[in-house]
Amino acid sequence: MEKNSSDILKMKKFCTPHFNMMEGILSHYGLPVELKYLAFIESELKVQAKSWAGAGGPWQLMPVTARQLGLVVTKSKDERYDYKKSTNAASKYLIDLYKEFGDWLLVIAAYNGGPGNVYKAISRSGGSRNFWKLQNHLPAESRTHVKKFIATHYIFEGSGGITTLTNAEAKKQIGVTATYLLNRKISAREKANAKTLVVSGKYRSEMIAKNIMMSQDEFLRYNPEFDKKMSSSDNVYELKLPADKMELFNANKYNILNDSVQSMLNSTTVMASRAESTK
């Protein structure tokens, strides 16, 4: 036990400066800083890491993908092995994947096994975009990759109620590491760095999240009572967001409100049509 604790401390000491750099870049792109753990499970942050398939660097980018993301990959120069440049490239790729799937666990699966395999899993599961429902349709390696990501976050940051599941559901699905990271309570540091704004109107959490490049789970982690409050007669709420996300909200708040109202009207129309068809 003591040896394991010592090994973890050494690992954290090695990773800290690299994680600090990655957090800055991920934040710049509006991405959750927790995605730094993806680089750890890809390469253990070893800058010269290279896979049998040809993926290289801390983010294990394939040559073709790296070039598409703007990196130089030649015999004499390979920017995949540059911590900062590869993190910038990986951030762009993660944004593209999130635009496709809208779910961070599916993004991690796609990063490992490719978007095609995730689309196949979605199709074979009947259209579900819930990782836990479609996971058995994914390649085993991609399935394991997602769970390694969750476990790595658990190892580095400890437990903290980061799951939307009940304890029974969590244990049934992935055991004691069932800690879906994007739903934990915000930390003291996150709270200190967040901005607040009082909002009113028929805003919907999914529309805000979509427009500020944030998963809905992450948005609700900062604003757990948002949907309940905004659907009440007293629909005024003190919105809390990371500073960069608040800037995006302020820049797009009228469009977001319009999208929210339109979404609500569409939902009402669908419900009315269903009610009519059952008469």
What pLDDT tens digit does each residue of the chain (279 aa) get? 344 445 566 777 788 889 999 989 988 888 888 889 999 999 988 888 898 888 999 999 999 999 999 999 999 999 999 999 999 999 999 988 888 888 888 999 999 999 999 999 999 999 888 888 899 999 999 999 988 888 887 777 653 222 233 334 434 443 333 333 444 567 777 788 889 999 988 888 888 988 888 777 778 888 988 888 888 877 789 999 988 889 989 988 888 888 888 877 765 443 334 444 555
Which residues contact residue 152 at a Cβ distance below 8 angstroms, ignoring those fewer than 6 apart? 37, 40, 41
User: What is the distance of C-alpha 9 from the center of its chain?
Assistant: 26
pLDDT value of position 8: 61
Domain boundaries 2-156, CATH class: mainly alpha
Which residues contact residue 135 at a Cβ distance below 8 angstroms, ignoring those fewer than 6 apart? 121, 143, 146
Phi/psi for 228 (5° steps) reads -65, -45
177 DSSP 8-state letter = G
Domain boundaries of the chain, sorted by first residue:
2-156, 188-277
Say what angle helices 115-124 and 83-101 make with each other, to 10 degrees: 20
Does residue 23 have an active-site annotation?
Answer: no
pLDDT value of position 128: 87
pLDDT value of position 104: 85
Contact 84, 62 (CB under 8 A): no
Say what the pTM is.
Answer: 0.57
pLDDT value of position 111: 95
Degrees to nearest 5, angle at CA 48 with 43 and 49: 35
Out of 42, 157, 238, 276, the active site residue is 42
Q: Which residues, in sequence order, are bridge partners of residue 50?
A: 56
